[in-house]
Structures are given as structure tokens and as C-alpha cells.
Amino acid sequence: MDYPLTVDIAFLLLAILAVVSGWRVFCTDSMVRASFFLLVSFIAVGVIMILLAAEYLGVAMFFMMAVEMMVMATFMVMFMMNPAGLNPMMMVHQHKFSIAAGVVIFVLLAGVALLAEFPTNPLPADLDPVTSLGNELLGDSMLIFESAGIVLLTTMIGVVVLSSHRGRYGGAHEGSMPPGLVPGGDPAGMPKEDEEEGGGHHHCH
Amino acid sequence: MAVSWLSRLAARARVPVFPALGMHGDTILHRLALTPGIELVDSPRHASILLVAGGVPPDLHEALRRLHDQLPAPFATLWYRSAPLSELAGDLRVDDPEALPEALKRLHRELMSGRRDSSPRLLPDEPPNPWEGLGDDGHGGEGMMGGVPYGRPMAMNMHDDIRDGLTLDSLTVTLGPFLPVLPPGLGAKVTLQGDLVQSWVTQLAPYPIALENVFHEALQRPVPIAELELARARHHLQRLAFSLRLSGLEHLALVALRLSRGLNVESRVGRLHRWLTRCGFFRLTAAGRGRLEAGQARRVGGIAARAAGLEEDLRSRDAAYRRLGFTPIVQRGGDTNARWRQTLAEIDHSLQLACRAEQEDLYSEMTEAVETPRGPWDDYRPEDASDILEDLLPGLEWDEALTTIASLDLAGVSEWPLEPLSETSLKDDEERQA
Amino acid sequence: MTLVTLLLLAAALIGIGFYGALSQQSFVMLMMGLELILNGVMLAAVAFWALSGAGAPEGQLLTIVVMAVMAIEMAMGFALVVAVFRTKQADVTEGITELKH
Amino acid sequence: MIVSELLLPVFVVLATLAVGAYLVGVIDGAIGAALGAPRGQSAWLAPLTQGAWLLTQQANTTEAPDWRAWRLAPALYLALAATGLAVVPWSPTLIPTDLTTSVVLWGSVEALATVVIFLHGWSANTLLALIGAYRYVALGLSYILISMFVLIGVALPAESLQFSQVVASQAEMWNVIRQPLGLPLFLIVGLGMTFWGPFNLADSRDLAGGTASAVSGPPRLVWNLARAAMLVAFSGVAASAFLGGWLGPWLPGPLWMVIKMLVVLAVLLLIGRLVPRVQPERCVTLMWVVLLPLSFIDLIWAGMEALL
């Protein structure tokens, strides 16, 4: 399928934007900046999806990711406050290995993209992508869609249980001791010795 | 051409004034708030004129210099009843409240037309602490904790969180003494987690407040009760106006100020009270936070004590007041909400007392002590009680903390009375403009 | 904009995401790596749908499912981070060397 | 071809943006004067003189801000307002961008607004701006869900995610009557996303201007302009989604839109002046405990009606 020149230019710019901002995520100083760079990468991909006629998915990407990245940035600030990224930081481990792994993955996937023969079946001219998606979601694939909904609900409940102040066996700050097998007995399934292991911030370089 | 056209338009804008308050400077603000063509702004960045109102104590001069340098050019400084800093000796000083609005407007016009240069910077434009990072390009080093940029280490968890046990990184800052949302002169070192106040240390006590002359006279000789009660109501209305402005009810703040300006024995606050209830002031803004314990309430005295259920009012000891059938109004609760209900009830009560006292031409009879709007003044003047904030504020959100501070009258009473302002001139101001 | 260029872009995003997920110490940054991988996956899915699958609706459905997976991944990830942070005050992977209390 | 497809939409969006933002200033000033603010100059002139003054003022700096984000945030907010205005249909033919998913696009404008406002406060590197940014995130994450449900409610009878279809589906009865809960809920969302009046948690007086407390000069002008423009975009969307957009007797469609937008604007600005700021904690509780269930009810109501 041939696209007009303007679309090609737009794609090129967006692709550069997506890759550069995706890469900047891991080499910027502030985690808030990192999450917004990731958001830029997502938005660029979303616009590419709109160019590919997936109108609903592209726009859904904007709002899904805006909310997700906002939550992410808030968590970053909660765990590590660094207004305006004054303190530079580089928190990595197994750095060389990771770079190698990333490059290998890219080469493998790029090889597949370049060498494999994919069928060329462009979109039919009369296809309305949004209607087709809607019919699919509430038609043939309704079970999948509804399962996704149920899983999301389960996630919500699980998340509230996990992150709430009260752990499974009482307050989280008390260290969640399971009850004894006999009333007043030792906690079930716990080793006898209670060694104090290194809590606190581990900030390895 | 285009530029001159732009600056001519800019010269006609409402004059954005940032007030830096010195001793007894806040009275002029009540007047400026009602003056057309003047806008009192909340941040020095939003101002074109820095108005230093009232004498600034020498130990705050350094803070005043820093504030002065925060205004974006072009800006000018105007000193109202205050001696200019030595570097700014040539600045305009105005002592006459009548002439102040016109002086502010003229200053703004001159700045915009380029006839007056922007005020010079007083301090070098450099960080208060040197860069202490590592490396050539100013980086703070490696690892999460990095270096110590500008003398400030990375925010760290030094305290346990007091709300939900999820310890977040805290931030410690120094606020005041010129922050317009705090009482004038109050300075504090505050540790915040997000917008939750983790700790509050009062470093600078607020300036003593000046009461109207009638309260000072009442300690020497009998004074007309009507005058005493009107002065009391005026004081409370002005505090109410400050709090209303803080909570975004500008028009009701102006209503309260106008009421306090033209207050006489016929005035009533019933309508203001109804408006406040209807717009949800008591439910949305002044919700029940900042509850005072009995001991704290007694220490603050006055409205705060009576709002906490203590029946302490020196007026009930005065025979003249007893003849008027005076009994103190008391609220239960002792929180922000109760304090504002108490304030409104007391304003209403004062106006009724004033009305009856004027009909019967009553004078106060007790001269050894007087109940000031700030609290009882017997052997001692009411003293500064701003250190109770250290117990009261931790655990509150920023908004709740500020509403609580605004609802408390904590500053001590000054030994000097307020200079009487002529009440008629302001009305003329407004009428002339309308 | 051809299928190959789109897939190359997706491969680049997945590669960067892999690097991030493996190299970052902070939990939250690690999750960002995972998100970037899923970003590439979604792009590839849409590219196949538009240029190779003749607009078969399952292509779009797959992307929706990946988005849901992303939301679940993030929610569960943060819940675990909060739970770990409450008990151990740790926000980097080295902070937890074992999963028991 | 180029004129009708490119220049006209851009012109329409820019013109509404400029005129609308100016009118917001005028109406707000007029309401303030009617409520008793001291009368200085005519309300028609006040926004212009204020803008001129901001243009002559120097753009200040803080200690080590995140420059890119700090300068970009006002421009991005303005761009979001322009995007919002672009999906508003003025008549069956005059629609700047008639995307088939324009309702979802408006939803993402709301979500991205949260990000941009947070960025504006965070990047200034000063305390009060940062608190404003935090507070806004709490508010922003709360109102997005309400807005989604309300908008899905109006998309149901139209069987489309396109604003022009949503308007067309109101030919018999406006959504404000068909779904009585929708418009009040949506107005609250609008006050939230422009942080106006009772929901001004980001730039409030108790934070000395909040996220804008450290901004001066032209960037502040852009920020104020963007806030007003967002209010205009919101009123356009509210008029199309609930008040029947261009539909109406006698007058041409675009004129009806202008009238309806002005009505929504006046209502919003009046609420902004009359209601005090809600405490952040109460505000979030209100959103999740009261308004979110109400928006569920609105959606169920809309669904039942679509089925019957």
C-alpha cells in the first residue's frame, strides 16, 4: 500500500521521536522526566497507529498512557523526591550485559523483519476500523474482552489488598506474622530464628 | 511604534502590587483592596510594584532584600511609613494613606513609559550555597544520592509518615516572614511530605497587632461601650475578610471589608452569614480541623478559647455589660469551623450590644482589665501564641494548615495603638471612580 | 512507511526496553523497560493488522489485550513495590535478596 | 481544496481560541464587577491591558528549573486547548477535524492536561508550585473517570464516538434532558480540568499562585491564555455533547453554538466566583465517593434509554 509523501515524512519524524525518547528514558537524571519521555514515546507510536488507520487504538493510547505515566511519575516522586531533577543519577547494574542483550534482541527482531516474507494484504478500502473493532469486541471475541475485564477487576482487588496498610496477617509495619497453628503458638511456617537482615535503603552503585 | 503602543496599553493595566508587610502595615491593605485600579497579588513574580508597608525590623532586612530581588524587571519599590533600605535611599516614600493609591498608579505608569528605571538588584545573582557536586560538568556524582547540589542534600526519609505509614521523601523549607498567606511577620521552618505538614517550627513570631485606641483608653477611663464593641467587630471582620480571600471568595471578602469600613450601630452581619452558609464556606473550606485542646485554647484566649467551650470573657465582669444582659457566647468543638461560627456570632453580638449601649449611652465601668478582640488584657497584654502551631499543624494538609492559621489570632498585642484612619476619604475614592 | 520500516521501529523499541528492564536497579524504572517492550509489541501488532492482515479485526483485538496486560502489569507492579517498601524500605532490586520477610 | 481542508479549520480554531480567551477575561471581569469588585476600567479593556503588561514584564528564572519542561508546559497546555477546540463541530459541514473517535480524543486531552499541569508545577523547582502540582494530580486522576463515563453516556444514543454524530443524535431531544445527570457532572469536570473556582487546587491563592507562582512575563501570559482557552474548548464540547450543538431554530448553526458556549462559559465563571475552594482531601473524597457513583448511574440510565 502506498502512502503519500507527507505520511512518510511524518512517519520518519515520529519514528525518530519514539526511539530517541524511548532511549532517553534510561539516561535522564530525574525519574519524573523518565516517565514523561516514555509518554512521548507512546504518543509518537499512537500517532503512527492513527496514520495506519487504527484511529481508535491510537487515540486510546494517548489517554491510557497519559494516565499511566502520571501515576508512574507520582510513584517516582513518592519513592524518590527529586524536584526538577537536580541530582543526577545513574542507577544501573549488569550494564554491559544489558546493552548486549538489548542489541542482540534488536538484531534478531530486525533480522526477522528484513528476511522473512510477510504477505501483503493492505486494509480493504471499505473497512471502518472502529466499527470493525467494536463488532469484534462485542461479537466473536466477547469472551476474550470480558475475561480481560474480569482480570482487570481481579487486579484492582488484588492491588488494594497488597498495598493496603493492613497486611494479610495484621498491620504491615508489624511484619505480617502468620497466626500460630495452636492458639498462642509459634507462627506457622516461619523459621525459629529471627535474624535482622539489612533493611533500609540499599543504594548500590 | 508598536512598542510604545504596547507600553501605553500596559500602563493602563490594574497596578499589580505585592505587599511586604512591616509592623502595623496590614491596615493599609484593607484600604488598597477596595481601591479601584490596584490589584494585590500573592506572589512577587506577579507584581510590578513592591509595597513595603510599615517598619521592617532590622533582622528581616536580609529577607526583604531577597524578596526585593525576586520581582521581575521592570519594577519599583514604594515605602509606606517605612524607612527605605540604605541601598534604596532614593526610593519613593509615602506616608499619607490618601496619597498612596495615586502614588502607586503613577509609579506604574512611569515604569511602563520608561521614565523610571527598574529598581536595581541588591544581591548578587548566585545560589545561596555553592555547587558542591563532583565532576567537570557539574554533575553530582554517581549513585542515587549523588552530590550535594547548592548545599542541599537530596530529600531523605528522616521521619516516619504520620498519615498512612507509607514513608515518602520529605522536603524541609523555610517560609515567611513576607509570605502573604501567613500572618505578617510569621516565619517558620516546615517539613512537608507531599502537601502534608510533617513538622512546623515557628522561627519568627508574627508582628504584634495594633488595636484601636479605644481598647487602650478603656484601661485608663470609662469609654463608650458602643465604640468599644464597634472596634471589636471591625477587627473580626477584617480577619474574616483575610480568610475569605484566602479561600477564593473574593467578593465576600470585599463585602466584609466594606462592612468594617462603614461599620455603625445599625450594621448587621446576618446577610453575610447567610451567604457564607449558602456557598458552603463552612462545609467546603472551614471544615473541622485544627482543634485546640483546652490548655492551648486558654493560652490563645479570646475567640479561640470561647470556640473551644471555655466561658472566658472579661466583659461579663463589667457591671455596665451585665446591665446590658451580657453573657458570653460559647461554641463546642474548638476547631476551624467552630472558630468562624464563633467569630460571626460575636460580631453579631457586638453590634447588638453597641446598638443597645448607644441608646442607653452606656460607658464601660471596669478599667483594670479589658477584653480585647485578641483576648483578655488584665495584668498582661495578650502575648504571642504562635508556638502552639508546632503541636497543631503536623498531620494537616497545606490547605487545612493555612485555614487553621487564618482562623487563629495568634500575634501578641502591641503596646502602641493603631493610628486612626479617616473613614470618609475611602468612600470618596470609590464614589469618584464609579 | 512500509511493513519492514514499522517492524524495524518496533524492534528498536523492544531492544531499548529490554536493555532498560535488565539494567535498571529501581523497580519503577524496571517497569518502564517492560512498558517500552509492550509499546513495540503493540506497534508491530497494528502494523501487521494494517499492512499484512487485511484488516482482520483480531489484530486490533490483540492490541487491546496488550493494553489491558500493560495496565495489569503496572498495577500489580506498583502494589508489590508498595508492599515491599512498607516492610523493607527498599525501592531497588538489590534491596530484596529473598522474597520471605 | 487546500483552503477548505487546511486553512479554514486552522483559522476557525485560532480565531475561537483568541476571541474565546478574550471573552473569558471580559465575562469574568464583568461578573466580578457585578459582585462588587472595585470598578477600575471597563471590563472590555482589562484583559488587553493585563496582557500588554505581561508582555512588557521580564520572564524570570528560578534556581535550576527544568527549562525545557518549564517553558514548554504553557505552550503544551495551549496546544491541548487548541486540540480540544478542533474537535468541536460548528455546523454539519464546518468541523475543524471530524475524526471518527473525536470523543476519545477529547478524553485524551483531559488526561494529557493533567500531565502538562503537573509538569508546569514540578519543573519550576519551587515549593509552592510543586505542592500545586501534586494536588492537581490527585484531582486530575479523579475527574478523568467521571468524564469518561459521562461521555460514553452521550456516545451511546449516537452509536458513534464522533462529536458530529453526537450532535445529530440530539435532533429530537437534547442530552441535557435525556440524561439529566450528565451536564452537571461534566461541568464539574470542566472546572477541574481548568482548575477554576472551587477546584482551583493547582494555582490557588493559598499557594501564592501555585504552579504559576514562580512564572512571570510572557510565559505567564501564555499560561493564563491557555487556561482561558481550555475553558472555551470545554464549553464547546459541553455545548455539543449536551446542549444540541448547532441545532436550533431560526438562527444559523454556528451562531447557536456561540450562544450555547457563552451560556456554559457564564455558568462556569459564575460558579467559579461564588463557590469557595474545596479542600483537596474533601474534593477527592467527593469525586470518588459521590460523583463517580453518580456517573455510573448516568451511564446505566443512558444504556437503559438506548435499549428501550
- Min distance B398 CA to chain A CA atoms (Å): 17
- In 3D space, the residue among D286, D268, D281 whose CA is nearest the CA of residue D27 turns out to be D268
A87 and B149: CB-CB below 8 Å?
A: yes
Residue D56: burial class (beta carbons within 10 Å; 0-12, 13-18, 19+): buried
Ordered mean pLDDT values, 10 residues apiece, chain A (205 residues): 82 93 84 87 93 88 88 73 54 82 91 86 82 86 88 88 63 54 61 41 39
Output A6-15 pairs: Cβ under 8 A, ≥24 positions apart.
A7/A51, A7/C1, A8/C1, A10/A47, A10/A51, A11/A48, A11/A51, A11/C1, A11/C5, A14/A44, A14/A45, A14/A47, A14/A48, A14/A51, A15/A44, A15/A48, A15/C5, A15/C9
**Which value does ipTM take for this structure?**
0.85
Whether residue B7 lies within 8 A of chain D, CB to CB, comes out as yes
C74 and A202: CB-CB below 8 Å?
A: no
Measured at the alpha carbon of residue B270, what is the angle toward residues B269 and B275, in degrees to the nearest 5?
100
Query: pLDDT tens, D263-301?
Result: 999 999 999 888 888 888 888 888 999 999 999 999 999
Per-residue burial over B347-364, b = 16 or more CB atoms within 10 Å of its CB, e = otherwise: bbbbbebbbbbbeeebeb
A interface test, pick of B134, B137, B139, B144 with most A CB neighbours within 10 Å:
B144
Q: Is residue C101, in this structure, part of any structural domain at all?
A: no
- In 3D space, the residue among B155, B326, D236, C28 whose CA is nearest the CA of residue A82 turns out to be B155
Identity (one letter) of the amino acid at D110? E
Residue D212 is placed in which grid cell? 504559576
Q: Is residue A190 helix, strand or coil? A: coil
Going by pLDDT thresholds of 50, 70 and 90, the confidence category of residue B434 is very low
Cα distance between residue B291 and residue B282, in whole Å: 15
Cα dist. B232→A107, B145, B212, B228, B319 in Å? 81, 55, 9, 6, 19
The whole-chain average pLDDT of chain C stands at: 83
Whether residue A51 lies within 8 A of chain D, CB to CB, comes out as no
- pLDDT for residue B140: 47
- pLDDT for residue B422: 47
Which stretch of A63-77, B340-354, D115-129 has the lowest confidence by average pLDDT? A63-77
CB atoms closer than 10 angstroms to residue B208: 20
Name B49's bridge partners.
Answer: B17, B76
Identify the chains in contact with B, defined as 3+ C-beta pairs within 8 A: A, C, D
Cα B142 to the chain's mean position, in Å? 45
B165 to chain A: nearest residue by CA?
A165
B36 and D38: CB-CB below 8 Å?
A: yes
Identity (one letter) of the amino acid at D114? T
Give the residues of chain C that fall short of pLDDT 70: 86-101
Q: Is residue C18, in this structure, part of any structural domain at all?
A: yes
Interface of A with D in 108-137 (CB under 8 A): 128, 130
Of C1, C93, C95, the CB nearest to A3: C1
Q: What is the CA radius of gyration of chain B?
A: 24
Domain B213-428 indexed as CATH 1.10.10.10: no
Going by pLDDT thresholds of 50, 70 and 90, the confidence category of residue B168 is low
Position B426 pLDDT exceeds 80? no
Please tell me whether the overall predicted TM-score, pTM, comes out greater than 0.90 for this model: no
Query: pLDDT tens, B239-289?
Result: 999 999 988 888 899 999 998 888 888 888 888 889 888 888 887 776 778
Whether residue B114 lies within 8 A of chain D, CB to CB, comes out as no
C23 and A54: CB-CB below 8 Å?
A: no
- Min distance B145 CA to chain C CA atoms (Å): 13
Per-residue burial over B170-192, b = 16 or more CB atoms within 10 Å of its CB, e = otherwise: bbbeebbbbbbbbbbbbbbebbb
Whether residue A77 lies within 8 A of chain D, CB to CB, comes out as yes
B interface test, pick of D57, D277, D285 with most B CB neighbours within 10 Å:
D57
Position B135 pLDDT exceeds 70? no
Mean pLDDT of B70-98: 85
For residue A36, list chain D residues with Cβ-Cβ distance below 8 A.
69, 115, 119
D301 touches D63 (CB < 8 A) = no
Interface of B with A in 189-218 (CB under 8 A): 194
- pLDDT for residue B432: 45
Residue D195 is placed in which grid cell? 482548575
- pLDDT for residue B157: 53
Position B125 pLDDT exceeds 60? yes
Domain boundaries, chain D: 2-307
- Min distance D30 CA to chain A CA atoms (Å): 36
Cα distance between residue A131 and residue D161, in whole Å: 10
Range(s) of the domain holding residue C58: 3-95
- pLDDT for residue D251: 83
Whether residue D79 lies within 8 A of chain A, CB to CB, comes out as no
Cα distance between residue D209 and residue B171, in whole Å: 20
For residue D100, list chain A residues with Cβ-Cβ distance below 8 A.
55-56, 128, 130
For residue D277, list chain B residues with Cβ-Cβ distance below 8 A.
247-248, 284-285, 399
More reliable by pLDDT, A92 or B71? B71
B166 and C89: CB-CB below 8 Å?
A: no
- Min distance B216 CA to chain D CA atoms (Å): 34
D194 touches D227 (CB < 8 A) = yes
For residue A1, list chain C residues with Cβ-Cβ distance below 8 A.
51
Q: Is residue C100, in this structure, part of any structural domain at all?
A: no
Q: Which CATH class is domain B2-113?
A: alpha beta
Position B148 pLDDT exceeds 70? no
B354 touches B315 (CB < 8 A) = no
A91 and C26: CB-CB below 8 Å?
A: yes
For residue C92, list chain B residues with Cβ-Cβ distance below 8 A.
144
D104 and A73: CB-CB below 8 Å?
A: no
Query: pLDDT tens, B212-242?
Result: 888 888 888 888 888 888 889 999 999 999 9
C37 touches C22 (CB < 8 A) = no
- pLDDT for residue D22: 93
- pLDDT for residue D234: 93
> For the domain that residue C71 is a member of, what is the CATH number?
1.10.287.3510
Q: Report, in this order, helix, strand and coil percent for chain A, each rounded to 5.
A: 60, 5, 35
Number of domains in chain C: 1
Whether residue B396 lies within 8 A of chain D, CB to CB, comes out as no
Sign of CA dihedral B52, B58, B60, B62: positive
Identify the chains in contact with A, defined as 3+ C-beta pairs within 8 A: B, C, D
Identify the chains in contact with C, defined as 3+ C-beta pairs within 8 A: A, B
Cα distance between residue D127 and residue B203, in whole Å: 18
Query: pLDDT tens, B379-417?
Result: 888 888 888 888 888 888 888 899 899 888 888 888 888
- pLDDT for residue D280: 86
Query: pLDDT tens, B285-336?
Result: 767 788 888 888 888 888 888 888 888 888 888 888 888 888 888 888 888 8
B253 touches B244 (CB < 8 A) = yes
